[in-house]
Amino acid sequence: MGILQQLRAGAKNRKTIMWPGTQIPVDIKILTDADEQSAEFAAENLFKQAKLDIAFHNVENFQLEQTTQKLYRALRVPGTDDPVEPDISAFKQQLTRIERDLLVDEMNAFYEEWNPNPRTMPAEEFDAMIESLKKKPRETILSVSSFATLKLLAIYLANQLATSQAANGVTSSR
């Protein structure tokens, strides 16, 4: 197993949500770079097939198509890797704009939860991560997918070590 697979194995990259306005569960997964690229290429190909250039007057439609393509790749039948519809056309025929907007909000919230931005993370969440790191260091480190967050954790731990050593009269780390 490669290092990226090991890191992903330690992270919860799926979440069960309810389809908007229903009690029907669907899984939402974090997209890989390949998923993201595939969605972007599919949107471009759709415009090429329709002989449409991406221009000022239709850029919003292009962005909506990219979003729909990404959403199709992110939504799964719970507990499986099967998409919620057999193909993108069937998915788009069933999806309303309101559902898409609500599902995109869920997807974005899950992404932020999965890969928090340390600059906007509330102090309480960072403190909880520090406590988790103290109790389960390996699991915590493997569950953090943001290098910026890992950097902050490393700085925090180095500062704690330096403070502890200074309090104990240690002047060298040797």
Q: Are residues 70 and 106 in the same domain?
A: yes
Domain membership of residue 17 (yes or no) is: yes
Residue 28: per-residue pLDDT: 95
Number of domains in the chain: 2
Does 173 score more than 70 pLDDT?
no
Residue 145: per-residue pLDDT: 60
Q: Are residues 85 and 9 in the same domain?
A: yes
Domain membership of residue 173 (yes or no) is: no
Q: Are residues 100 and 136 in the same domain?
A: no
**CB burial of residue 106 (10 Å; 0-12, 13-18, 19+):** buried
Domain membership of residue 174 (yes or no) is: no
pLDDT digits (tens, 9 = 90+) for 63-97: 999 999 999 999 999 989 999 999 999 999 999 99
Domain membership of residue 38 (yes or no) is: yes
Does 38 score more than 90 pLDDT?
yes
Does 5 score more than 70 pLDDT?
no
Domain interval for residue 77: 3-114
Residue 44: per-residue pLDDT: 93
**Phi-psi sector, 21: left (phi>0), alpha (psi -120 to 50), beta:** left
Q: Are residues 94 and 128 in the same domain?
A: no
CATH number for 99? 3.30.2220.20
Q: Are residues 91 and 42 in the same domain?
A: yes
pLDDT band per the 50, 70, 90 thresholds, residue 25? very high
pTM score: 0.67
Q: Are residues 105 and 135 in the same domain?
A: no
Least confident segment among 103-112, 153-162, 163-172: 163-172
Q: Are residues 73 and 92 in the same domain?
A: yes
Q: Are residues 146 and 99 in the same domain?
A: no
Does 7 score more than 60 pLDDT?
no
Residue 73: per-residue pLDDT: 97
Q: What is the rounded average pLDDT of the residues 141-168?
A: 72
Q: Are residues 77 and 94 in the same domain?
A: yes
Residue 126: per-residue pLDDT: 76
Residue 116: per-residue pLDDT: 67
Q: Are residues 43 and 109 in the same domain?
A: yes
Task: Identify the domain boundary among 93, 114, 135.
Answer: 114
End-to-end CA separation in angstroms for the chain: 35
Domain membership of residue 93 (yes or no) is: yes
Q: How far apart are CA 78 and CA 99, in angstroms?
A: 18
